[in-house]
Chains A and B, each alone.
Chain A
Amino acid sequence: MEGLRRHYGPVVALDGLDLTMAPGELVALLGPSGCGKTTTLRLLAGLEDADAGRITVGGKDVIHLPASKRDMGMVFQAYSLFPHMTVRQNVAFGLRLRRVSGIERDRRALEMLELVGLSSQADRYPSQISGGQQQRVALARALAIEPQVLLLDEPLSALDAKVRAQLRDQIRRIQLEVGITTLFVTHDQEEALAIADRVGVMRDGKLEQLAPPTDVYSRPATPFVAEFVGLTNRLAGTVSGSTVTVRGRDLPLVDLSTPPGPVTALVRPEAVTLASDSSGQSGPLSGTVIASTFLGATSRVTVDLGDTTILAQLSTSDATALPAGSRVALTIRPDPVLVSADAPVTDE
């Protein structure tokens, strides 16, 4: 995709988007509502027309082709199976349109259903299977036509958490097995980070960063990416040279070209560790636990530092040793941090 633009009246949904995907790659587009990720997918699928730009698939410009000629399989957020057809007929629908013979059609449909683990449901109607199964059938239907690109438009958002996690892993497994180039749109960062080869974080119709999940998380390109992907503590700091001093501790900078001066440093909660402090001494890195949120294997602990609060992510066993009211000493791991040039957090 090159210079893709799309506007709805005065609202610019896509503002010159450039995105190149390698064959067999899974790219997840992540961003808040209205950032243009679904618009990107719909332009790629041919369900909407771009105002400007080019879409090239396998060297062929497809921008002027209608959706029916683009050779792209799509799975939608809403359940999109045809209610009057059985699961098998749904999967075979695209093959029928391509005039594949009856026997071959049936064989391919069953093969796809086996791939998604639903061959036993072949003769059921969509209303007779669960939401998760419907999305798996939709995936089988999209893959059955052997498209050049698979487009997934928030396919898991209508499912409950457990099914969502299972189906997410299944989608990734199938995508790797089939080796199909896939664009996955989601607003769930965990989903994007877990499934994608590369994650594209979008904002206001533009890509803020396109990088492997680990880079997006640990080396965010912009403050928006840092704050959108994962949680961050916004702490006042001062840049000098290649480090930023945060509460008396020097941390390396992600962006070495940051000019010296006061900034807001974005520190991940998992870079903060806590230890019980019975000395009662006060300092920039000591405080009082005010709350603890249980997240399963980990817990998120909120610490009052007097002038600000800070979040720390600890193992639940460590967190239970620090109940609300405990005095704690903080350590900030010297991971490279991103700084925001906007108004630094002032110490009250």
Chain B
Amino acid sequence: MAAITALTGEPEPTAGVAGPRGMQAGRRRRLNVFRYVVFTLFGLFFLLPLLAMARFSLQGVKLGTWSLTAWRQIGSYPGLLSAVELTLELAIITCVVVLVLLVPTMIWIKLRVQWISRAFEFLCLLPLTIPAIVLVVGLAPVYNRIRHYNLSALMLFWAYVILALPYAYRALSAGLNAIDVKTMSEAARSLGASWFTVMFRVVAPNMRQAILNALLLSSALVLGEFTIASLLLYVNMQVALYNISRATPNAGVLFSTSTAALLFAFVLLLILSYVGGRRRRRI
């Protein structure tokens, strides 16, 4: 009888445990469905215009036909290739300057002068709160003077460094906070490392992913920047595209160049993700 009681009594707690588990599984399923729906909707929201743009860039003379003419014409528009070249150079310079400025400074602040970290963060995030047009009002006199000395349009990088600061700062800050900088630096110091070695051979290599993210964000910002270049009368890729759209009835080139720029950004993203991923796999 006792055995029977024990056996019949057994399922109750099990059922009590299974209940929440069943509920959890159901909740998880619903959450997954919700995730997929949101992901699909947002994916379509971003993807459809891009697909339309790609499709228009491949539009033939007659409606509904396909052609690569617009892609072939990219090089034939005066000033477009040089604008693309300028933008790429600006992206590289901006990335280098941002990293050279931020990486050592942020590591140094983390290691030695933590008390100014808030002020530094505020400074770096400030450009987010200043509209581009206001920045231009401030930058215009400086750039007028630069123009006076016939310096190249590459001088735009100063403005772009300021614009890229908040994004690069956030990416680097996340990377820096993910590692135990203090213990690592103290371990390295006790082994005989100078501060320079600590920064560049111990801390920075462990921020690799964060540095790649900062690079990606900075270069994406420069590739898509229009307002400042246009208002300061420089012709970067976005300004050149705008000029083409105004000057030519053939919108195909506009679309092909924009698609090419976008593809370039995607390829860059893929390369950076691959480099970061390979590193992660190795570890």
Contact = CB atoms under 8 A, between A and B. Distances in A.
Most central of B187, B202, B208 by chain A CB within 10 Å: B187
Interface stretch (A69-77, A176-184, A226-234, A333-341): A69-77
Given A78-B180, A82-B202, A94-B192, A67 B283 contact: no
Interface in A41-79: 45-47, 66-74, 76, 78-79
A74 B206 contact: no
B189 A47 contact: yes
Interface in A22-54: 45-47
Interface in A69-93: 69-74, 76, 78-84, 93
B191 A80 contact: no
Contact of B191 (A46, A93, A125, A128): A93
Interface residues of B, number: 20
Interface in B171-230: 179-180, 183-184, 186-194, 197, 202, 205-206, 208
Given A82-B184, A83-B179, A45 B191 contact: no
B190 A84 contact: no
B186 A80 contact: yes
A141 interface: yes
A276 B183 CA distance: 56
A70 B190 CA distance: 8
9 contacts: A45-B186, A47-B189, A67-B189, A73-B191, A74-B187, A80-B180, A82-B206, A83-B179, A97-B191
Closest 9 CB pairs of A and B: A94-B191, A80-B187, A74-B190, A67-B189, A84-B205, A97-B192, A80-B183, A78-B183, A125-B283
Interface of B: 179-180, 183-184, 186-194, 197, 202, 205-206, 208, 282-283
Given A68-B189, A151-B190, 19 more contacts: A46-B189, A68-B192, A68-B193, A68-B194, A72-B190, A73-B190, A76-B187, A80-B186, A82-B202, A83-B206, A83-B283, A84-B205, A93-B188, A93-B193, A94-B192, A125-B282, A138-B187, A141-B191, A145-B191
